[in-house]
Structure 1
Amino acid sequence: MAETPIRFGILGCAEVSRKLSKKLSRAITLSPNSTIEAVGSDSFDEAKKFAAESGVPPSAKIYGSYEAVLDDPDVDAVYVPLPPKLHLRWAVLAAKKKKHFLLEKPVALNVTEFDQIVEACEANGVQFMDGTLWMHHPRTSKMKEFLSDKQRFGHLKTVHSFFSFAANDDFLKNDIRVKPDLDGLGALGDAGWYCIRSILWACDYVLPNTVTALHGSVLNESGVVLACGSSLQWEDGKTATFYCSFLSNMAMDITAVGTKGTLKVHDFIIPYEEKSASFSLASKTGFMEHVVTTDLPQEICMVREFLRLVRSIKECGSQTESRWLSISRKTQLVLDAVKASIEKGFEPTQVGI
C-alpha cells in the first residue's frame, strides 16, 4: 500500500529566494511520497511565475501571501527560504499553525530569536530542520566514521574550515546578504554558518569555551560583515579556526587533525560531482583518497530525512527529533560570540549556553 504523500508549501519565491526555492522544489518533487501542495509569495504574480519556471505540479495552489500557505489545511510542512530578518515571524507562525518546517540558514539573527522558534516548535509538536545540505550527504557520515576511529585518527586536536567566494559588484551592492534590513549577518551568517557547523560537527557538538575574532574583518558601509575569521578554544586544549568571505576566491575546505590521523575535504559544501564525492585520509598506515558514490544529490537526501521524521510524527505518533534544534542552536551560539568579538574589538568572548 502506497504511503500518503507529505504535502509541502513553499514560503518565498521572489527573486531574493528563488534559487534556493528552485533547488528544494526539485528535491521535493523527486523525493518519493512528497509533493508540492502550495506556493506562496508576498506577490501572487511572483508565486505564479516561480511555479511555472520551477516544475511545480500544475495542481499546486498559488497564493499571494505567506499566511495563506500556512492556513491551507492540506499543507503538512513548509520550506522557508526567506531573508533571516523574517525567520522569527514566519517560523513561529508556521509552528503555531502546526506546520513542520525546513528553515534556511542562518536560522535567526541571534540565539534569543532562535529560542523563540524553539519554544514554538516544542509547544506545538512540529519538526524543525535547518537547510545545511552537506550534513545529509553520505560522504559526511563516512568522514565521521574516520574521525571516530581512535585507532586511525586518535583524538581530535584542531580543525580548520574555510568557505569563501568572490562575489561580483552586483552581489556586493544588492544581494540580501549584504543588506542590514534583510539579513545583517553577511558573510558570517551565510558562509560562516557552514564553517562553524563543520567545526562543531568534528567536535561532536561540544561547544568551545571562548572565541576570538581575528583582526582583518571587512565590513561594508552599512556595517555588514563581508569577510571575517575567528579562532575557537576548548578547555581540553582543542583549537579551531575558520575564515569566511564574499571577497576571496572559492574555497570550501575542512582539515581536521588528530593525534594519529588527518582528514581533508575540499568541497564539503557543494560536492564537485553530484553522484560522487571524495575526501582524503592520512594516518600511520598511509594516505588514502576515499570516494563516496550516491544516486541522490544532497538536497534530496535532506528532504528524505525530513520526510522520514515528519511521517513518523504524523503516522506513528512519534516525538519530534530535537537533535536538529540543538545543533542549530549551538551553531547560532558560536556565530553570536564571533559577532560579539568583532564588535568588542576582537576581544576573546565567552560562548553562551
Structure 2
Amino acid sequence: MGSSEPVKIRFGILGCADIARKLSRAIKLSPNATLHAIGSRSITKAQSFAQSNGYPPTTKLYGSYDAVLDDPEVDAVYIPLPTSLHIQWAVAAARKGKHVLLEKPAALNVSELDVIIAACDECGVQFMDGTMWMHHPRTLAMDHFLRDPHRFGPLKSIQVHFSFFADDNFLKNDIRVKPELDSLGALGDVGWYCIRASLFAANYQLPKVVTALKNPVKNKAGVILSCGASLHWEDGTVGTFHCSFLSHLTMDISVVGTNGTLHVNDFVVPFEEKSASFSTMSDGWFTDMDLEWNKKPTEHIVNTDLPQEAGMVKEFSSLVDGIKRLGLSPEKKWPTLTRKTQLVIDAVVASIDRGFEPVEVY
C-alpha cells in the first residue's frame, strides 16, 4: 500500500532576513513542505541563523545563494532579500528550475517584475509573492460577502490604512529606508498591502487613474516614510489608502457598497493567530426619529488550524507538486495579482514625481 503522507516540497531560503524566521516556521507547520537549505553570504551567518532558530541538523547550510540554487534537491526557494536584489536572484532561481516564492514588494517597478515573471514562464516554474493575508480563510469569507449582490451590492468606496510607528533604529538602519536596497520605502512595504487590499475589494479590477496625495514624508535619502493616494475606477468607485512608518499600528479596511459595508481591523496580521474576524452590515438604517440604528454590525469569526503564512506555503507547495508530479502548468493567478499591485505602486511613484498629477494605469 502507498503512503498517505503528502509529498513534501523541499524549500531553500536565500538570506537570513528576520522575515525568514516566520517563513521557516510556516514551512515547518505546512503539511506538504520541508525546510531543506538556508543560504547566506557567509557560512558563519547561516550557521548562526540555523542555531538561533532551532533548525534540525538535516538542514543544509550554505555560504552563498548560488549554492542553494545549485542544490539539486531544492524544489523551491523563498527569497526575502532586499527588493533591489529580487530581479537578480528570482531570475537566477527560475533558470535553475526552482519555483519562486518572492517577498513583497516583488520588484522596484513593473519593468523589473516583467523580467522575473517572463523567466518563471520560460522555465515553467511557479511564481507567487509573499502577501500572506491573501491565504487566510477569512479572506475567502470576506470575498463571498463582497461579491454578494444582495448583501453588499455594487462597490462604491474603499479605504485602507496600514501603518506602524518605527523606532529610531529602524528609521536609520532598516533596509526599507535605504535607497540602494529598498527605494520604495513605506510605499513598497506597508503600501503594498494597502494596494492589494484595494484591488481585492474591487475584485482585482485595476483603477483607471491614481493620484498621490500631497505632502508625503521622505527621509534625507529620499525614501518614502509615509504617503497616500486616491484610486479612481471607470465605474465611479473611489478608493484611498494611507501607509506609514510614522503612525501607530493600524491595519484597517473599510469597503462600502450600495447595500452593505465591510470592516476589518487587522487584515495584514490577525489579532490572534488561529482566529480572525470581520464585521458586515446590510440594509442598515435608522429607527423612528433617527434615534438609533436599526441593527448592529454582524461579527464573523473565522478559525484556522494553520496560520496564514503556513497556508500560503501549503498552497504554493500544492501548486509546485502539481507541476512536478502531474505535469500541470503554473497557476497564472498569482503573478497576475502581483503585476496589478506593482502597476499601482508605479502609478503612485509617477504621480509623486509629477507633482501629484493624476496618472493613468495601464
Q: Percent identity?
A: 61
RMSD: 0.9
Instruction: Choose 46-55 or 163-172, whichever is displaced more.
Output: 46-55
Partner of 2:63: 64
Partner of 1:284: 283
Partner of 2:215: 216
Partner of 1:342: 352
Deviation (angstroms), 1:216: 1.9
Instruction: Choose 96-105 or 343-352, whichever is displaced more.
Output: 343-352
What is the SS of the residue equivalent to 1:50? helix
Structure 1 residues 126-176: Cα deviation after superposition (integer angstroms, max 9, x where no partner): 001100000000100000010011001001001000000110011000000
Q: Aligned equivalents of 2:307 and 2:223: distance in 1?
A: 32
Q: TM-score, normalised by structure 2?
A: 0.95
2:244 pairs with 1:245: yes
Deviation (angstroms), 1:4: 3.3
Question: 2:14 is aligned with what amino acid?
Answer: L
Do the aligned partners of 2:29 and 2:306 also contact (CA within 8 Å) in 1? no
2:174 pairs with 1:175: yes
2:335 pairs with 1:325: yes
Partner of 1:304: 314
Q: Aligned equivalents of 1:284 and 1:210: distance in 2?
A: 31
Question: 1:39 is aligned with what amino acid?
Answer: I
Q: Aligned equivalents of 1:232 and 1:4: distance in 2?
A: 43
> Aligned pairs, how many?
348
Deviation (angstroms), 1:5: 2.0
Do the aligned partners of 1:26 and 1:55 also contact (CA within 8 Å) in 2? no
Partner of 1:22: 21
Deviation (angstroms), 1:3: 3.5
Partner of 2:267: 268
Do the aligned partners of 2:158 and 2:254 also contact (CA within 8 Å) in 1? yes
Do the aligned partners of 1:36 and 1:57 also contact (CA within 8 Å) in 2? no
Do the aligned partners of 1:159 and 1:241 also contact (CA within 8 Å) in 2? yes
Deviation (angstroms), 1:268: 0.2
Q: Aligned equivalents of 2:32 and 2:341: distance in 1?
A: 31
Q: TM-score, normalised by structure 1?
A: 0.97
Deviation (angstroms), 1:55: 2.7
Deviation (angstroms), 1:235: 1.2
Deviation (angstroms), 1:250: 1.1
Q: Aligned equivalents of 2:151 and 2:59: distance in 1?
A: 51
Structure 1 residues 205-263: Cα deviation after superposition (integer angstroms, max 9, x where no partner): 11111100001200111110000000001111011000000011111000000000000
User: Which structure has the greater CA radius of gyration?
Assistant: 2
The answer for unaligned runs of 5 or more in structure 2 is 285-294
Q: Aligned equivalents of 2:55 and 2:32: distance in 1?
A: 15
Do the aligned partners of 2:106 and 2:129 also contact (CA within 8 Å) in 1? yes
Partner of 2:288: none
Q: Aligned equivalents of 1:321 and 1:114: distance in 2?
A: 17
Do the aligned partners of 2:110 and 2:346 also contact (CA within 8 Å) in 1? yes
The answer for unaligned runs of 5 or more in structure 1 is none
Partner of 2:12: 9
Q: Aligned equivalents of 2:87 and 2:312: distance in 1?
A: 22
Question: 1:11 is aligned with what amino acid?
Answer: L
Q: Aligned equivalents of 1:310 and 1:146: distance in 2?
A: 30
Deviation (angstroms), 1:33: 3.3
What is the SS of the residue equivalent to 1:57? coil
* 1:14-93 alignment runs, 5 A limit: 17=17, 19-93=18-92
Do the aligned partners of 1:210 and 1:351 also contact (CA within 8 Å) in 2? yes
Question: 2:304 is aligned with what amino acid?
Answer: T
What is the SS of the residue equivalent to 1:248? strand
